[in-house]
Structure formats: structure tokens, C-alpha cells
Amino acid sequence: MFLKRQPHTMTMTAFPRLDLRKPVLLALFLLLAAAFVASLAAGSVSIPIDNVVRVLTGGHADKDTWRTIVLTFRLPKALTALLAGAALGIAGLQMQTLFRNPLADPFVLGISSGASLGVALMVLGTAAASAAVFGRIARFGDVGLVTAASLGAAAVFALIMMIARRVHSVVTLLVLGLMIGYATSAAVSLLIYFSAPEQIAAFTAWSFGSFGGVTWQQMRVFFPVCVVALAGSLAFSKSLNALMLGENYARSMGLNVRVARWWVTASASVLAGAVTAFCGPIGFIGVAVPHLCRALFRTSDHRILMPAVMLTGAILAIVFDLIAQMPGAGFTLPLNVVASFVGAPLIVWIIVRRGSFGLV
Amino acid sequence: MSSAPALTTHDLAIGYGPLRQRRELSRGLNLTLAQGQLVCLLGPNGAGKSTLLRTLAGAHAPLSGEIRINGVDMRSLSVQALARHLALVLTDRVDAGHLNAYGLAALGRFPYTDWSGKLSGQDEQITQAAMRAAHCDGLAHQIVSQLSDGERQRVMIARALAQQTPLILLDEPTAFLDLPRRIEIMQLLRALAHEQGKAILLSTHDLELALRYADRLWLMPNDGVLAEGAPVQLRTSGQLLHTFAGEGAAVTTYLSELLS
């Protein structure tokens, strides 16, 4: 293995490989494909895998209703889970590296609350008419929704970044992030307090988190926003590697820190904002997936972590959604319940197994 | 190796301002750091060692005057260009999680790789040579968070070497290390200066080690008047005693005994 790569150097020490570990990434990709198809097959009505594959490839299922179920309900839901999982994982990874903090993620630092506030301001704040939340959202347009959520997320993110420049203690920053999260949540609560009951009900349902609320119509916004932001984030893998050593070192190695920080912040805000807008605030994926990938790949190299986090985040989100549906039980659990029940022990396991977090 | 000195300053003034209240730490600095020289910057805390180092590194704007890196005015160099002239080793804590020492040293190739950060065979060879030069190639597989302070300092020096700059600045590279490690680091830096022709400037509190290993000393007393010269010169001229004069009688007595 090593000999193949270093025929030119007569080294006394073998140096480790720094390549991209494509086989494991390929395995993850296949796992994602399997989880994706499984999520189309499972549910209150189970549909045979071969029928699912036939529908996906443009053919017909044994029953017409199966085709409708797959194309109208399950496919947008699975696609939403895939995009949301990848997006939350990447946003978490970007923030953990940017803040050099292993616990940073959109949820913990209040970015999701900021996005909620953006949505709440738009949905509840203009409470002249008493239309239900999602009727209202449709009227404002999905672009407006993503914009509101992203602006809310970016506002909180900018605030945290400003504080982070002055406060260098990781713990202080985390506590401040939590406080900002509480404050924005309180603002949301205040808005709810002065809103009509049906708006509150719809808003509460939204805050449970769900991948099922995105229609094909909304997918026209959600899909391109996520794909562009995810693809854009890949361009900053190298910058994140340098930022891992802190801003002073990054600058000394030739990174334009301000530009890099701006783009990474923007990308994380848009990703967290878009997911929160369409799926509600979803916890744990953002903080857990980067740690899972570091442990799995035994690396902190963002050139490996970026694709790994996208794939793992997508897989986890689909699996969480599968569990939430409780196939055969006839009811659906809120997504955040599943994410917390599965995610919390996962994080505990990672911490205990590693003895410490190390850092990002 | 270019013929111009690695670093020169012309009538440089350092300090803070003008946004905050202007505070000048030192002025009229005309310093030269030649290729193949190890220079130690000594002085009491608060005299402005760190500010001088940060200013020379381009991380802090000078109040006035000029800094030339290999004959080129620093202000005309972009961040990217500067990274090919000057490498830094700082006291900032490096906690790179799962990164192994080789991966950390390879980050020194940052200014030379494309947008994706892909390392060529040549980049890997340069990194490996840098690790051998810093005597840390045996640590290549180790996870950075499991390295001792001294080992990590070696890897950070290897990273600076992999950056292939004629000039390396180090901020208190021997702080937090025990005596054997401090000696090893100083010996390593002197060897890099003398054998590879690097111009190396480091700030330190290790007076005895600096006197023994440095080619030149820059002394920064609290009055801001920097004295420069070979260790032998500064020992006899009384400049060393003057530099630490404000540190109390015990220090003065210790220094007098050390220098006699």
C-alpha cells in the first residue's frame, strides 16, 4: 500500500496516507441509496422494493395507488430528508471548525432559533388575516420563507461571530449562544402569545420537525438552495483545514480569513435557514454527524469530512424518519423526539469512547 | 538564496493607534535579519516583544515606517504572497483533533496547493523532508492531540519548514517546555538557520539559552529603545543589565552573576 505511493523516497519512516479514502465514501453512498429506497418502500402501506424501483425508473407499479404514494408523498419526503440531513451535517461541521468548538451546531448556538424567529415574524407577525400557517406560507411564497429563515439564522450567526471575536473562551461562547437561543425563542413565544389558536397549533406542529411538509412545488426552491449551498461549501474544505489551527495560523499560511469566514458563515446560515424553514428546527444531526464521521474516518481533514458528513447526514436523516414513522404502528412520532432519543446516546457514546472531545 | 536580507525595517514605529488611544511602544527601528541567522528577541513583559513580532509578521499594522521582506515592501504583498516569504510558529493552542502529525505538517503546503487543497507527490516529499529536518518524522502517524508539548512544537516547526519560506518567526517557542526540550528546540532552530540558510527570529524568556545559541540578540527594554548586537557584545556593554533593570534587585543580582 505504502510502497505503491512512495517508490521515489527511501524513507526510514513510513508516512501515513493522506488520500481521500474513496472506498469508504463509496460504501456510504451505496448505504444512502439503500436507505433511500427503503424509505420509499416502508410506511403505513408497505410497497415491494421491486415496485418502488420500477416506479422510480419511470415504469408502473402493480397497483396504481402505489405509484401515487411513492411519487406524491414518499419521494419528496425522502428527498427532503436526504437534503436536510446533508445540509444540517455540513452546517454543523462548518460551525464546529469556525468556532473551534466541538459542541457547536446550528441548534446549540441558537441559529435554528434565529431561523424560527425569521419564520415566526413572517408567519405570525403579520397576523391581520387568520389564515393557517401553511396557507400563509404558500401566499408569501417559498422564496420569501427561505429568505426570512436565512436572514433570521444569519442575524444570530453574525451576532455570535461578533461575540466570538471578543470572547475567546469556548465555554463562555457556548453559554452566550444558548442565551441568544433562549432570547430568540422567547421572542417567538411572545409572537405566539398574541396569535390566533390555529396559527399556534400549526406553528407548534412545525416546531416538532418533519420532512413530510415539503411539496413538489416547494421542492423547486428547497432543492436548488440546498444543492447550491452544499456544492459551494465543498470549495471551502481547504480553508476550513487551515482555520482548524485558528485564524492567526490560517492567515500566516495565506488564507484570506475574512473572506473565507464570510462565505462559510453565509453557507452555514443558508443551509440551517433553509432546512429550518421547510422542516422546522431539527436538533442533533448538526452536532452528531461531524463527530460520527471523524470517529468513522479517523481524520479531521475537511476534504474527506465534507463528502463524508453529507452522506452520513443524509443517511441518518432518512433512518430517523423511517423510525419516526414506526412502520406498522399506525402513527408517526415527531422527528425531534427520534433525533433526540437516538442522537443523545450517540453523542454520549462518542465522548465516553474517546475519553475527551479533543477538538474539532 | 536571494542577496537581499530576509528582513529589514526602516524607521519603523510600533504600537497601537490611532483608533484606540495611540500608544507607541518603540520607534526608529532600523533592523536587519540576514539569511542563515538565528536572532533572539529578549525583553521584559510588556515592552512590546509580541507587538514587534506581530508587526514583522504582517499581523499588526506598524504606526509608521517600512518593513521589507526579501527586499520587497511588505505592504505590496498579498496575504497569499506573504505566506511564501514568511512562516509563523505561534503560542496559540493547536488542537487539531483527529489530524495526525503528518497531516498537520502538510498544512504548510497551503500556499502552494490549488483550491481543493490536493497534495501532489512533490508536496508530500517536501513535507516529509521538513519532518525529517525537524526530527519529528517518527511522529508522523500520531494524532496531534496525543502529542506532548515538545513534540507538537516540533511538528509546528516542520509545518513552517514545509511552507518553504526564507524567513521564520516564532513567538516564545520554548514556553511550556521542560529544560531538555527547550535545549533541543534551540539547537534545532540554530541548525536550521546555519544549515538551511533560514533567517529565524524568535522571542523568548530563556536568557541563558538565547546567549548560548543566538547569532544576534535584539533587546527590547521598557523604554522602547531597542539594542541590537552579538551576544558577546551585549553581555559586556551592560545592555543586558539595562534591559532587565526594571525587573527588580533580585533579577539584577542574578544577571550580574550570570554575565560575570
Query: Which burial class, exposed, middle or buried, applies to A287 when counting CB atoms under 10 A from its CB (0-12, 13-18, 19+)?
Result: buried
* B20 close contact with A: CB closer than 8 A: no
Given a cut of 60, whether residue A177 has pLDDT beyond it is yes
Closest A-chain CA to B87: A252
User: Which grid cell is A18?
Assistant: 493522506
| Percentage with pLDDT > 90 across chain A | 25
pLDDT at position A137: 47
User: What is the pLDDT at residue B17?
Assistant: 75
Q: Does residue B191 sit at the A interface (CB-CB below 8 Å)?
A: no
Per-residue pLDDT, averaged over B113-118, amounts to 89
pLDDT given at position A154:
79
Whether residue B87 is predicted with pLDDT greater than 70 in this model: the reply is: yes
B251 Cβ under 8 Å from any chain A Cβ: no
Sequence-distant (6+) residues with CB within 8 A of B126 are B109, B162, B164
User: Which chain B residues have a beta carbon less than 8 Å from that of A9?
Assistant: 125, 128
> Given this model, what pLDDT does residue B105 score?
95
Do residues A54 and A61 lie in contact, with contact meaning Cβ atoms separated by under 8 Å?
yes
C-alpha cell recorded at residue A183? 432570547
With beta carbons under 8 A apart, name residues in chain B contacting A254: 79-84, 110-111
Strand partners, B66: B10
Q: What does the pLDDT average to over B67-76?
A: 94
- Per-residue pLDDT, averaged over B93-109, amounts to 88
Among B82, B96, B117, whose Cβ lies nearest the Cβ of A238? Answer: B117
- Range with top average pLDDT, A80-94, A156-170, A171-185: A80-94
Q: What is the mean pLDDT of residues A89-109?
A: 84
B241 pLDDT above the threshold of 90: no
Task: Flag whether pLDDT at A105 surpasses 90.
Answer: no
Res. A309 pLDDT band, cuts 50 70 90: very high
Q: What percent of chain A has pLDDT over 70?
A: 82
Q: Is B140 on the interface with A (CB under 8 A)?
A: yes
Q: Are B205 and B109 in contact (CB under 8 A)?
A: no
Minimal Cβ distance to B92: which of A237, A248, A253: A248
Chain A positions touching chain B (beta carbons under 8 Å): 8-9, 11-16, 18, 100, 102, 235, 237-238, 241-242, 244-246, 248-249, 251-256, 294-295, 297-301, 303, 358-360
pLDDT tens-digit readout, B191-204: 999 999 999 999 99
User: How confident is the prediction for chain A on average, in pLDDT?
Assistant: 80
pLDDT of residue B85: 95
In a 13 Å sphere around the CA of A30, the CA atoms on its Cβ side amount to: 6
A295 pLDDT higher than 50: yes
Check CB contact under 8 Å for B111 and A253.
yes
CB-neighbour burial class of residue A183 (10 A; exposed 0-12, middle 13-18, buried 19+): middle
Closest CA to A123 of A101, A152, A99, A97: A152
Q: What is the DSSP letter of B120?
A: P
The residues near A137 (Cβ < 8 Å, ≥ 6 apart) are A123, A145
Give whole-number Cα distances, B152 to A100, A257, B99, B109, B175, in Å.
Answer: 18, 24, 12, 18, 12
User: Inter-axis angle of helices A216-234 and A75-98, to 10 degrees?
Assistant: 30
- Which has the minimum average pLDDT: A94-108, A296-310, B40-54, B246-260? A94-108
For residues B29 and B9, the answer to whether their CB atoms sit within 8 Å is yes
Nearest chain B alpha carbon to A97: B96
* Preferred mutation among B85, B95, B168 to probe A, highest tally of A CBs within 10 A: B95
Contact B145 A12 (CB under 8 A): no
Which amino acid is it at A105? D
Indicate yes or no: CB of B102 within 8 angstroms of CB of A237.
no
Average pLDDT of the segment spanning A5-10: 44
Higher pLDDT, B43 or A119: B43
d(C-alpha A244, C-alpha B92), whole Å: 12
Partner residue opposite B110 with nearest CB, options A248, A253, A301: A253
Distance from CA of B147 to the nearest CA of A (A): 12
pLDDT for position B107: 95
Which three cell numbers, joined as nine digits, stand for A149? 429563515
Choose from A5, A10, A15 for mutation: most chain B CBs within 10 A. A15
The overall average pLDDT reported for chain B is 91
Chain A hits for B131, CB-CB cut-off 8 Å, are 15
User: Average pLDDT in the B221-246 region?
Assistant: 88
Task: Please report, as a single letter, which amino acid is at residue B219.
Answer: L
Contacting residues of B for A358, CB less than 8 Å apart: 95, 97-98, 143, 145
pLDDT digits (tens, 9 = 90+) for A195-237: 777 667 766 777 778 888 888 888 988 999 999 999 999 999 9
Please answer whether residues A282 and A336 qualify as being in contact, where contact means their C-beta atoms are separated by less than 8 angstroms: yes
What pLDDT, on a 0 to 100 scale, did the predictor assign at position B251? 87
Q: Is there a contact between B96 and A254 if contact means CB atoms under 8 Å apart?
A: no
Contact B95/A249, CB-based, under 8 Å?
A: no
For B120-126, what is the mean pLDDT? 94
Residue A180's pLDDT is 82
Tens digits of per-residue pLDDT, A18-67? Answer: 766 788 899 999 999 999 999 999 887 888 888 888 888 888 888 888 88
Q: Which candidate in B82, B107, B128, B152 is best for mutational testing of the A interface (most A CBs within 10 A)?
A: B107
Work out whether strand B7-16 and strand B86-89 pair parallel, antiparallel, or are unpaired.
Answer: unpaired
Mean pLDDT for B160-183 is: 94
Please report the beta strands in B93-205, taking only residues with DSSP state E, as ranges in sequence order: 167-171, 199-203
pLDDT at A194: 77
Q: Using CB atoms, pick whichever of B86, B119, B137 lies closest to residue A13.
A: B137
Neighbour-count burial for A306-325, b at 16+ CB within 10 Å, e otherwise: bbbbbbbbbbbbbbbbbbbb
Q: Is the pLDDT of residue A355 over 60?
A: no
Between CA B250 and CA B256 the distance in angstroms is 10
What is the rounded CA–CA span in Å between residue B137 and residue A27? Answer: 32
B87 to chain A: which residues are within 8 Å by CB?
252-253
B94 contact A CB<8A: yes
Number of Cβ within a 10 Å radius of residue B23:
11
pLDDT at A82 over 60: yes
Nearest CA in chain A to B113: A238
**pLDDT bracket for residue A268 (50, 70, 90):** confident
Q: What is the dihedral of CA A278, A280, A286, A289, to 10 degrees?
A: -80
| Rounded Cα–Cα distance for residues A264 and A154 (Å) | 11
Q: Count of CB contacts below 8 A, A vs B?
A: 120
| Cβ neighbours of A13 in B, within 8 Å | 137-138, 140
Q: Helix, strand or coil for residue A171? A: helix
Using one digit for the tens of pLDDT, what is the confidence trace for A107-140? 777 777 888 888 777 766 554 433 444 454 444 5
Query: Strand, coil or helix: what is B229?
Result: strand
- The cell for A167 is 470572547
Q: How confident is the model at residue A17 (pLDDT cuts 50, 70, 90)?
A: confident
Q: CB A253 to CB B107 under 8 A?
A: yes
- A242, B111 Cβ separation under 8 angstroms: no
Shortest CA distance from B106: residue in chain A: A18
* Least confident span in A51-55, A283-287, A353-357: A353-357
Top pLDDT among B240 and B18 is at: B240
pLDDT(B143) > 50: yes
Whether B212 shows a pLDDT value over 90: the answer reads: yes
Question: How far A242 CA sits from the closest chain B CA (Å)?
Answer: 7
pLDDT at A9: 45
Place of cell 413565544: A189
Cβ contact A15–B137 (<8 Å): yes
- DSSP 8-state class, residue B70: T
Tell me what pLDDT residue A139 has. Answer: 46
What HEC string does A193-229 produce?
Answer: HCCCHHHHHHHHHHHHCCCCCCCHHHHHHHHHHHHHH
Q: How confident is the model at residue A289 (pLDDT cuts 50, 70, 90)?
A: very high
- Give yes or no for a contact between B29 and B13, defined as CB atoms under 8 angstroms apart: yes
- Amino acid identity for residue A66 in this structure: W
Task: Indicate if the pLDDT at residue B186 is higher than 70.
Answer: yes
What's the confidence (pLDDT) of residue A8? 45
Q: Summarize the confidence of residues A232-260 as an average pLDDT.
A: 92
Alpha carbon distances (Å) from A188 to A159, A172, A204, A308, B33 = 18, 24, 11, 35, 60
At B199, which amino acid appears?
A: A
User: From edge to edge, which strands make up the β-sheet containing B38-42?
Assistant: B86-89, B167-171, B199-203, B38-42, B216-219, B227-229
- B120 vs A: CB within 8 A: no
